[in-house]
Amino acid sequence: MTPKQKQRFILVSLLVVGLSTGIGLVLMALNENINLFFTPSQVVAGEVPDNQRFRIGGMVTLDSVEKLDGELTVLFKLNDSVKEVQLKYAGILPDLFREGQGIVAEGKLNEEGVFIADQVLAKHDENYMPPEVEHALKVSGGDYHNNEAKE
Amino acid sequence: MSVKDKVWLWFHRMASPAYFYNLAGQLLPWSIVATTTLMLIGLIGGLVFAPADYQQGDGFRIIYVHVPSAWMSMFVYMVMAVNSAIFLIWHIKLSDIVARSSAVIGASFTFLALITGSIWGKPMWGTWWVWDARLTSELLLLFLYLGYIGLRSAIDDRRVAGKAGSILALVGAINIPIIHYSVVWWNTLHQSASVSKFDNPSIELNMLIPLLSMALAFKLFYLCILLINSRSELLEQEKRSQWVKELVTSS
């Protein structure tokens, strides 16, 4: 490399390194705001904003889904395998909603600590397999995707 | 001749416009054939032979377009960024041409990834769009591509346009690792990686093989477009040079 090229090389490297550090620091500072949802543990520990809408994400607890008669209202619990939060939602659930499935709900906590959701989104996991394989895994008790949902 | 010299010789030869023009012309038919073959294998394998997913049913098949486009959106940007750095440091015109010829196709891949993801998201997640880290950073990538294209076409002087565009491409490259690791660093609605865990991909083999075939087909498709685009850009840029004059008079 000629001295001129070396100089430009250093300039370009400095640009990339400097910007990466800067952006990295900004992202670290904004970490909490970039997360899409709070976990049930964070909600129980009171780390969520008061009287504000936020999102909560976790697994639907097994055998916790309860449909109120004659209404669209559904009661269910979300857990992150440490803590659990009770949710209440009136509306149409997405296709992938089932017990053991990850979901993200948006809404507000009421005084009793029940999360009143006005939107429920299914969080699909990264596992793709044909139904026969899923069945075989379930029979053999394999914990491939933490999903023991009722069919 | 040492290996290092050979590499430098290859580097210099590749950087020669006339040599690259001819090489690209010879490569083009082969890459078109390979693209078509792999795309047929991937499409038939993915749409006909791959089994339906245990939860999503046939809806998962959009993965055969969505994932390759998303990979390409990042890959093309990296090609642009590396070539921009080479252009800035060594002033090799060909690198600038490669970067410039990649922008539109990269933007198209990004757009395709966003649209197919949105179409899949409505029935599976229950929403067309959510402002999570993965989706937002991918949208930012689309804006970076569009900004790059806009910036370049706003400047008439080719050299200035090349410099300005290269700096923008380099700055934007910081977004690429953010897109890739967004699902690891933050919690998002978007699922984490299924395929790039090489030890144990979370996707069945008969679903994975068509996906890899499509991914390779998309790469070669990009190569075809890149060869066509850069050949015409080269002719335009070198129109006063001897080899272009010879090319035109001889044909």
Q: Using one digit for the tens of pLDDT, what is the confidence trace for B7-19? A: 888 877 777 888 8
pTM (predicted TM-score)? 0.88
Q: Are residues A75 and A125 in the same domain?
A: yes
- Listed in sequence order, the residues at least 6 apart from B171 whose beta carbon sits closer than 8 Å to its beta carbon are A15, A19
> Euclidean distance between the first and final Cα of chain B, in Å?
37
Q: Are residues A26 and A48 in the same domain?
A: no
Q: Are residues A12 and A69 in the same domain?
A: no
Is residue A15 assigned to a domain?
A: yes
Residue pair A36/B189 in contact (Cβ under 8 Å)? The answer is yes
Is residue A95 assigned to a domain?
A: yes
CB-nearest partner of B194 from A120, A126, A130: A126
- DSSP category for residue B62: G
Q: Are residues A60 and A131 in the same domain?
A: yes
Residue pair A108/A116 in contact (Cβ under 8 Å)? The answer is yes
Rounded to a whole number of angstroms, the distance from the CA of A37 to the nearest CA of chain B is: 7
Is residue A144 assigned to a domain?
A: no
Is residue A91 assigned to a domain?
A: yes
pLDDT band at B227 (very low <50, low <70, confident <90, very high): very high
Is residue A151 assigned to a domain?
A: no
Cα separation, A102 vs A145, whole angstroms: 11
pLDDT band at A141 (very low <50, low <70, confident <90, very high): low
A129: domain CATH number is: 2.40.50.140
pLDDT of A148 reads 38
User: How many domains does the structure of chain A reveal?
Assistant: 2
CB A128 to CB B130 under 8 A?
no
The interface predicted TM-score (ipTM) is 0.80
CB-nearest partner of A129 from B130, B170, B204: B204
- Listed in sequence order, the residues at least 6 apart from A62 whose beta carbon sits closer than 8 Å to its beta carbon are A99, A100, A148
CB B187 to CB A35 under 8 A?
yes
pLDDT of B29 reads 95
List chain B residues with CB under 8 Å of A134.
54
Is residue A148 assigned to a domain?
A: no
Mean pLDDT along residues B169-180:
95
Give me the domain span that covers residue A26: 3-33
List chain B residues with CB under 8 Å of A59.
none
CB B53 to CB A20 under 8 A?
no
pLDDT tens readout for residues B38-57: 999 999 999 998 888 888 88
pLDDT tens readout for residues B192-203: 877 766 566 678
Sequence spans of domains, chain B: 38-189+203-250
pLDDT of B173 reads 95
pLDDT of A151 reads 31
Is residue A94 assigned to a domain?
A: yes
pLDDT tens readout for residues A12-48: 999 999 999 999 999 988 887 888 899 999 988 888 8
Is residue A150 assigned to a domain?
A: no
Average pLDDT of the residues of chain B: 91
pLDDT band at A146 (very low <50, low <70, confident <90, very high): very low
pLDDT of B26 reads 94
pLDDT tens readout for residues B52-103: 888 888 888 999 999 999 999 999 999 999 999 999 999 988 999 999 999 9
